Amino acid sequence: MTPSPVDRACATHFVGSAGSLFGWYHPPSGPAVRATGIVLCPPFGVEYVLSHRTYRHLAERLGEAGFPTLRFDYHGTGDSAGDQRDPDRIRTWRLDILRATRELRSRSGLTEVGFVGLRLGATLALLEAAEQGDVASVVLWDPCLTGWAYVREMTYVAHFSSSQAPDTADCEACGFVLTAATQRELVSIDLRQLHRKPAPKALIIGTSRRGKERQLAETLQSLGVETTHRRLSGCSCIEMDPHEAAVPDQLLDATVAWLRASHPRLMTTPPPAQARRCGPTRIAEGLWEEAVHFGPEERLFGIVSSPRDGPTGTLPAIVLLNAGCIHRVGPHQLYVTMARHWARLGYVVLRCDLSGLGDSLPAPGRPENQMFPASAVADAAAAMSILGARYDAGRFVLVGLCSGAAVGFQAARVDQRVRGLVMLNPAELYFDHRAAHTYAVEDFEFRRYARCVVWRPPHSPRDLARGLSLTCAKVKRVAQRALSRALGAEPVDARVDFRNLSHRGVTIMLVYGEDDIGRDALPLQLGRDLGTLVSPDQGVWMEVLHSANHTFLPLATEKSLLLVVTAHLLARHPPGSGRIEALALSDARPPSQQLAA
């Protein structure tokens, strides 16, 4: 049997300019091995999240074409150490590209290296190639020509997404922060003013309607770079919902074909063999992380955060389950923040990818990028088993946002090892593979329409028709559910499951954003028993966070979420008293005020 791409790839931590960096090394898997390695430079922020799946597919295809390839996360992003508010971001990220280049050369035994970058990643790759002076080629997808234009775009995104924190000079775009200092660094960048030749060859691919990359092509040609410029409209990997995103095959094929034509030279000796596993790595003081493969044929992947002194035997381990189709870092790195904070308190925390999500392979014959993979409950069980085997954990708390909450709920129903559930903005508690996402969108639009009617009635027949359609769809769904319950035809009953979990002693915490659609779904599923079931007497707590959206933005809300959930964990599953001081968040309100809100 031919090994899978994930089996061939090696997760790795390596030393960056300011701390440990996380990446994946993809050794060549085809019959021929190219004499050129490729470093993939990611974009920043929400564009990084949206392009993660595309970058993994690109790395796999480059490996199949014979190119040793390394993809990685910059310091303070993804699974790497650090914080996005740390100083000298642009300088640090450029040095991270240099360290990634050295890591690739060390692993592959090659000296010739090329870069591939998207958006800000393309900009940084080009600047660093010009600085290094020995890069063989660069591939630039939708490069940002000027840092000023990029800052302007992110500022627009921040205001459009309503995630911008008030009264601050920092730009908070979809939960990713460009500090005022980072913005000043960016504004000084103008690729059109490049004075040094970055590489002998360059490929520029524009996929958006901006079309300004032609100016960069002219600049590179004036520096003596053999430049190819292509337009592939409609092939972007960052302008769509991650749940519905398709891998842009035309873009990947064009990139791989150009690299194969530009680097035909082959290695005479194979690259050194790579160990698939890497041991625990120190991320920060008192915090270690380890990449783990688990599940059937080790198709699943995750990262374990643990305290310096090792796990505390009396504590349950925590498993973070994917939010929708976003890989294990979570929306705006929420899962990374939670995992590392709880690990410092003494908990062992695994943020994992379910089948077909992130860096986990789908089950045989199953598609990838599904919010509710068919093996979701089995995947959660496998995650608990790996923590039991590696860290001697026997009790578990499952934490998930949206679909991750539903997966945790389903796993808790059938697995006696689960002792706690933290469900963040859950909507449907039971999997509906066909309609879950559609229902969520309909409910969101219905609530938005209802609010508009209160403050500003529809002014056009089209608005009125859309509103009536949404209203009818919602009424129909409510009626169908009520009829099914009345006839006893509904296959599941959340009320029964809540009672069973309560009798088993499973603690449940529900946390909703004030504007989240899940607040409407819960009464539909629990009916008139809502008041009696959601009660501390039944082991069920619920908090509603003011001004929070579905992914707990703006970031001030994220801090409130972290405080509330951590207080719950400390109250229900307390570690040693010496660790409780780590709960204090210098810029958060006291817990009593949070709970009151």
Is the preceding peptide bond at 523 cis, omega within 30 degrees of 0?
Answer: no
Q: Which residues of the chain have pLDDT under 50?
A: 1-7, 433-441, 444, 448, 451-456, 488-490, 577-597
In this structure, are residues 44 and 78 in contact, taking their beta carbons and an 8 Å threshold?
Answer: no
For 187-234, write each residue's pLDDT tens digit.
Answer: 999 999 999 999 999 999 998 766 789 999 999 999 999 999 999 987
SS (H, E, C) 445-491: HHHHHHHHHHHCCCCCHHHHHHHHHHHHHHHHHHHHHHHHHHHCCCC
CATH assignment of 11-145+191-262? 3.40.50.1820
Q: What residues contact residue 428 under an 8 Å CB cut-off, 6+ apart?
A: 406, 436, 439, 440, 521
Same fold for the pair 11-145+191-262 and 281-430+492-596: yes
CA distance 330 to 514: 20
Who's near 588: CB < 8 A, 6+ residues apart?
559, 560, 562, 563, 594
Chain-centroid distance of CA 498 in Å reads 30
Cβ atoms within 10 Å, residue 215: 12
281-430+492-596: CATH, from 3.40.50.1820, 3.40.50.300, 3.40.50.1980, 3.30.1360.200: 3.40.50.1820
Nearest partner of 336 among 388, 284, 263, 379, judged by Cα: 284
* Residues written for the chain: 597
Count of other CB atoms within 10 angstroms of residue 329: 26
Q: What is the dihedral of CA 204, 206, 210, 213, to 10 degrees?
A: 10
Place of tokens 């059938």: 414
pLDDT at 430: 86
Domain ranges of the chain: 11-145+191-262, 147-188, 281-430+492-596, 433-491
Q: Facing residues of 347 across strands?
A: none
Q: From residue 510, how far is each of 261, 532, 585 by CA, in Å?
A: 55, 15, 22
pLDDT of residue 291: 96
> CA–CA separation, 64 vs 60, rounded Å?
6
Which of these, 446, 458, 525, 450, lies nearest to 492 by C-alpha position?
525
* Dihedral angle computed from the Cα positions of residues 559, 564, 569 and 570, in that order, rounded to the nearest 10 degrees: 90
Which amino acid appears at position 522 of this protein?
L
* Nearest to 118, CA basis, from 252, 308, 253, 282: 252
